Amino acid sequence: MLDLMPSLGNWQPAVSGQRCAVATIVGTGGSVPRPLGTSMLVSENGDVLGSLSGGCVEGAVVDSALETLRDGGTRRELFGYSAEDAFAVGLTCGGELEVHIQPLGSSPEAMDFALLHSLAGHHSTAAVALIRRLDAGGGAVVVHDPVRFRAMESPDLARLVGDHPATVYAAAAQLEPLLQGGRAGLVRLAPPEGCTGSELEPEPITLFVESRLPSARMLIFGANDFGAALLPAGKLLGYDVTLCDARPAFSRQSRFDAADRLVTDWPHRYLAAEAAAGRVDGRTVVCVLTHDPKFDIPLLETALRLRLAYVGAMGSRRSHRQRIDALLADGTPAEALERLHSPIGLDLGAVTPAEVAVSITAEIVASRGRAGRGYAPLAPLAASSLRDGAGPIHRTHETRPHELSTFEPRSHELRSTHDPRQEDPWT
């Protein structure tokens, strides 16, 4: 839902008071076009805001949303690959989407429209989260500070899950990592003791959380041609980019004006101050492009003591060996050096500053999510041409719909004994 909030206030069906339903991706498997949490609004007149798949399932989702508006209930529907019928609803990419559809309004199963409008008041980069209950209980909670949210201290969350201390405790253990990591995911909670034993097994409490944090930071050290090329590449990936150099004559050049921050300071001193102020975290990437030991060594000593997503340093292999020797001599632990990307970047044959920027950002993307968000020893990068690979092209954390449903959703998937996904290199 959070992806739609910037547009909600100007969407005419919502402004005019039309009844609407919201469809949200709550489960994925294999190659899918959009991630968990992606939502689409459908008005009673069939107007649409947003997209779930780029076109291949939208028509069926609109039909289901209109059914939801007619009967006032909620639905969860499964969309997957159709191998037998070219006209069937399915994802040609071979993946699976589980979509939760519910009306907006004041009924017990509806999402509160006023709650959505409160979300729409947040800036598109502000930290905010939404916790929704998808099972029969319904309801939602807005979290205004996901990083500092403490589930055990939230009366709103307690009311959402039923006020039972054991249930709130179980919710906290699963919710807080998603909230603090700026991620989306499903949380299933077993009914509290004392609620079992009836002829009908109680349905687990099912929560869906979407969390948005301010943009992760990219700290570029080195006001040179490579820094100038990396700056827009970092912004293209959505980073909040800072460029820092100790030399005023270089850092104050107009070609760096696109940076979110331009800093003239000794690199290691600036990084230490930002860390002490809590302005770097496990999503922060540091790119050391100064190629000068008097800057590089103290900066890398500081960076490798922090929990950062990525630390890379430019230089030749000879420079790298000298850098490692100097860091070891100054007391940097060998295991910390295993987290250093040096020489920086993937081996793409890059030569020009622009090509090197592509090489660096490619390595940052390839390294995301490995080894506990980047502060454990690095696993080998699995970066190669998609053409030469096999298996799913999306290797991120997968949430398969059939593993998450508390009931069997209505399926739009046609299956056969022949599975073309075993042969298709794009799946």
Alpha carbon distance 32, 53 (integer Å): 8
- Amino acid code (one letter) for 126: A
- Single out the residue of 157, 132, 135 nearest to residue 73, CA to CA: 135
Q: Supply the range of the domain harboring residue 64.
A: 1-110+392-422
Tally: H helices and E strands in the chain: 14, 16
Which has more confidence, 195 or 110? 110
Please enumerate in sequence order all residues whose Cβ is within 8 A of that of 123, keeping only pairs 6 or more positions apart, or say none. none
**C-alpha distances in angstroms, 344 versus 269, 330, 334, 364?**
22, 22, 18, 10
- Single out the residue of 151, 142, 139, 158 nearest to residue 176, CA to CA: 151
Based on the domain organization, do 93 and 140 belong to the same domain? no
pTM listed for this prediction: 0.69
Last residue of a domain, one of 214, 232, 255: 214
Based on the domain organization, do 82 and 138 belong to the same domain? no
Last residue of a domain, one of 214, 240, 266: 214
Last residue of a domain, one of 184, 214, 244: 214
Range among 120-129, 144-153, 193-202 rated most confident:
144-153
Q: What is the pLDDT of residue 263?
A: 95
Average pLDDT over residues 78-86: 58
Q: What is the pLDDT of residue 374?
A: 40
Residue length, the chain? 427
Using one digit for the tens of pLDDT, what is the confidence trace for 9-39? Answer: 788 887 888 888 999 989 887 767 678 888 8
142 - beta bridge partners?
130
Classify residue 232: in a domain, yes or no.
yes
Classify residue 117: in a domain, yes or no.
no
Quick check: 128 pLDDT over 80? yes
Based on the domain organization, do 208 and 285 belong to the same domain? no
Quick check: 418 pLDDT over 50? no
Quick check: 356 pLDDT over 90? yes
Quick check: 93 pLDDT over 60? no
Based on the domain organization, do 241 and 347 belong to the same domain? yes
Based on the domain organization, do 343 and 270 belong to the same domain? yes
Quick check: 396 pLDDT over 60? no
Based on the domain organization, do 249 and 359 belong to the same domain? yes
Based on the domain organization, do 15 and 156 belong to the same domain? no
Classify residue 378: in a domain, yes or no.
no
Based on the domain organization, do 159 and 195 belong to the same domain? yes
Based on the domain organization, do 65 and 131 belong to the same domain? no
Based on the domain organization, do 179 and 221 belong to the same domain? no
- 367, 354 in Cβ contact below 8 A? no
Asked if the bond preceding 343 is cis, omega within 30° of 0, the reply is: yes
Cα dihedral across residues 107, 157, 182, 374: positive or negative: negative
- 20, 394 in Cβ contact below 8 A? no
Classify residue 343: in a domain, yes or no.
yes
- 78, 95 in Cβ contact below 8 A? no
pLDDT band at 57; cut points 50, 70, 90: confident
pLDDT band at 411; cut points 50, 70, 90: very low
- 371, 155 in Cβ contact below 8 A? no
Based on the domain organization, do 207 and 299 belong to the same domain? no
Classify residue 279: in a domain, yes or no.
yes
Classify residue 373: in a domain, yes or no.
no
DSSP string for 227-250: HHHHHHHHHHTT-EEEEEES-HHH
Q: What is the pLDDT of residue 191?
A: 73
Q: How many domains does the chain have?
A: 3
pLDDT band at 175; cut points 50, 70, 90: very high
Q: pLDDT > 70: what percent of the chain? A: 75
Q: What is the pLDDT of residue 115?
A: 73
CATH code: domain of residue 318: 3.40.50.720
Using one digit for the tens of pLDDT, what is the confidence trace for 188-214? Answer: 888 766 555 444 556 788 999 999 888
Using one digit for the tens of pLDDT, what is the confidence trace for 262-309? Answer: 999 999 999 999 999 989 988 999 999 998 899 999 999 999 999 999
Based on the domain organization, do 170 and 230 belong to the same domain? no
Alpha carbon distance 75, 135 (integer Å): 10
Classify residue 381: in a domain, yes or no.
no
Classify residue 115: in a domain, yes or no.
no
Average pLDDT over residues 43-50: 90
